[in-house]
Amino acid sequence: MRISRFYQIQKTMLQYGLDELLPKHWQPWYARLFRRCAFWLRNRYPEHAVGARLRLALQSLGPVWIKFGQMLSTRRDLLPAALVDELSILQDKVAPFPGEEAQQLIEQALALNHISDLFADFDVTPLASASIAQVHTAQLRQDDGRIADVVIKVIRPGIRKQILADLALMDSLAQIAARFLPDGKRLRPREVVAEYRKTILDELDLQREAANAIQLKRNFEGSDSLYIPLVYADHCRNNVMVMERIYGIPVSDIPALQAQGTDMELLAKRGVEVFFTQVFRDSFFHADMHPGNIFVSREHPDNPLYIGIDCGIVGTLNAEDKRYLAENFVAFFNRDYRKVAQLHLDSGWVPAHTKVEEFESAIRTVCEPIFQKPLAEISFGQVLLNLFNTARRFEMQVQPQLVLLQKTLLYIEGLGRQLYPQLDLWKTAKPFLENWVKQQVGLPAIWRQVKENLPFWAEKMPQMPELFHRYLQQGPQQQQALLLQLQQLQLQQQQSNRQIINAILAAASVISASITLNQGNTWLSTTLGLFAAFFVIKALLA
């Protein structure tokens, strides 16, 4: 099976003339000889450009390859623009599988004798069908007797086996490419395949998608900007997911949005706001924001509400990633390339031996042309992409979560400008970034940190005597480890105490300074102000 599939893949690639993607001097003599002899595998589509042939070949190889092409289409950092443009029009239109089979899968997964035990009006004709799953409509009979309009998403039968087999082959091909392509090291084909493997296998697990949707819904509870359909978690399994049916307008249907009088400017701005809120407030963002997954509510078009579906792919960021992003954006838009370079060094993103002047100059070279445009037209996604590419030359390993974010940012920008071409992204995003950066420094940040640490200390304090007791009972090596643990706890506690004391002293100085200033004693208030600054710095360094 594996050999015949391997042969089929090679055959398809040669019949679409994809060997042309490799410059002749990269191909060993035996490969060129084989190519000449294999008369039955001629390029059948010489009239098409090589990018178009790659797209058609992937399409004919099936869903796994189509999705792989779609993923590659987001890697402008790796592939030439013409190829990426072709790949980005790959569509995974796949014939639906029989609705009766979907019904059986649902009955099995939810342990139902008949689908009507739980659902009324199950429609065997799918509402939508894609390469991995298919969606049917139904009405859910709830425990309290109420009926809810729902959709049921069902994973295609047998798809997992097919995906695993193709992934194994893809990895073999990537190994060959990494070994034989002179550019194999830079393109890192095995890592690209490994990243894809994770994404596509995650998409096969609807429990995971359900959990993501529940989390995102909770994050935007009561929001005017984003609504996530309710997931019926009790009726979700790995291959079946039941959720509230929504009736919004697809975001790509601009005439329909305009016809209902949608405030397009507000809608575009809200798209950017929702994205930045997900990234900077929640550190949890929907990372599959293609237009097919975004709808707009038909209610109150003057206060437009997005509806997001398909939370199969989400990105998360840690505090360091967020700081990196926010500070870099702010430094970028101030055209402070030295700061950008320094930030990379300070955070250890590029090795310590990097020469900051060289790095600064490289960033300036790629980014300055972007700033020739008016600020309103600058693409954040492009800025990030250029930054990643430059940083990579300086040995920065780009983090997958940041690539996911950059890709989502490009989608959001494209969408925003499609809805409202005059959208000024910078103006919309700037308050978010500046606020966030501001919140990370100064007294409020210290206070927040102290508050965050208090429960930790409340929990750890009672363990101190126990740890000490255990320490006395252990052998020398374990004693050393425990001692270290104790010392760390003590250090953290001392740091936390120092921060609290300095924060209190700084606050007292600020209050006294403002009282003395009101009383007209400028000299004393200035001195107190200096004290306040001194304590803030001490708190930050503690």
Ligand X SMILES: Nc1ncnc2c1ncn2[C@@H]1O[C@H](COP(=O)(O)OP(=O)(O)OP(=O)(O)O)[C@@H](O)[C@H]1O
Q: Which residues are catalytic?
A: 288
In the complex with ligand X, which residue's Cβ is closer, 295 or 380?
295
Report if residue 231 touches ligand X, rule: CB under 6 A: no
Only one residue has tokens 């993501």, namely: 212
Which span (112-120, 243-251, 253-261, 518-526) binds ligand X, by CB under 6 A?
243-251
The tokens for 394 are: 């300086």
Q: Which of residues 91-130 bind ligand X (CB under 6 A)?
A: 92, 127-128, 130
- C-alpha to C-alpha distance for 36 and 510, rounded to whole angstroms: 82
- Phi then psi dihedrals of residue 115, to 5 deg: -55, -30
In the complex with ligand X, which residue's Cβ is closer, 304 or 312?
312
- Nearest approach, Cβ of residue 135 and ligand X (Å): 4
198 annotated to a ligand binding site: no
Q: Are 529 and 521 in contact (CB under 8 A)?
A: no
Report if residue 132 touches ligand X, rule: CB under 6 A: yes
217 annotated to a ligand binding site: no
- Nearest approach, Cβ of residue 53 and ligand X (Å): 24
Q: How many CB atoms lie within 10 A of CB 518?
A: 9
Where b means 16+ CB within 10 Å and e means fewer, 237-273 reads bebbbbbbbbebbebeeeeebeeeebbbebbbbbbbb
- Nearest approach, Cβ of residue 255 and ligand X (Å): 18
Q: Which residues are CB-neighbours of 476 under 8 A, at least 6 positions away?
A: none
Per DSSP, the three-state class of 505 is helix
In the complex with ligand X, which residue's Cβ is closer, 246 or 501?
246
- Exactly one of 133, 167, 264, 503 binds ligand X (CB under 6 A); that residue is 133
127 annotated to a ligand binding site: yes
- Exactly one of 292, 400, 414, 529 binds ligand X (CB under 6 A); that residue is 292
Which span (82-90, 241-249, 272-280, 417-425) binds ligand X, by CB under 6 A?
241-249
DSSP state of 251: T
Q: By CB under 6 A, how many residues form the interface with ligand X?
A: 18
In the complex with ligand X, which residue's Cβ is closer, 245 or 338?
245
In the complex with ligand X, which residue's Cβ is closer, 151 or 343?
151
- Exactly one of 109, 200, 243, 506 binds ligand X (CB under 6 A); that residue is 243
**Closest to 152 measured CA to CA, from 92, 236, 212:** 236
State the Cα angle at 100 between 99 and 104, rounded to 5°: 115
Angle between helices 319-333 and 400-419 (to 10 degrees): 50
Report if residue 525 touches ligand X, rule: CB under 6 A: no
11 annotated to a ligand binding site: no
Q: Are 309 and 150 in contact (CB under 8 A)?
A: no
Encoded one letter per residue, x for contact with ligand X by CB under 6 A and - for no contact, window 59-98 reads ---------------------------------x------
**Closest to 112 measured CA to CA, from 130, 138, 133:** 138
Report if residue 229 touches ligand X, rule: CB under 6 A: yes
Per DSSP, the three-state class of 8 is helix
DSSP track, 25-68: GGS-HHHHHHHHH-GGG--S-TTS-HHHHHHHHHHHH-HHHHHH
- Nearest approach, Cβ of residue 293 and ligand X (Å): 5
Encoded one letter per residue, x for contact with ligand X by CB under 6 A and - for no contact, window 293-332 reads x---------------xx-x--------------------
- Exactly one of 18, 181, 187, 246 binds ligand X (CB under 6 A); that residue is 246
In the complex with ligand X, which residue's Cβ is closer, 244 or 336?
244
In the complex with ligand X, which residue's Cβ is closer, 287 or 367?
287
SS (H, E, C) 409-467: HHHHHHHHHHHCCCCCHHHHHHHHHHHHHHHCCHHHHHHHHHHHHHHHHHHHCCHHHHH
Return binding residues for ATP: 127-135, 153
Q: Which residues are near ligand X by CB under 6 A? A: 92, 127-128, 130, 132-133, 135, 151, 153, 229, 243, 245-246, 292-293, 309-310, 312
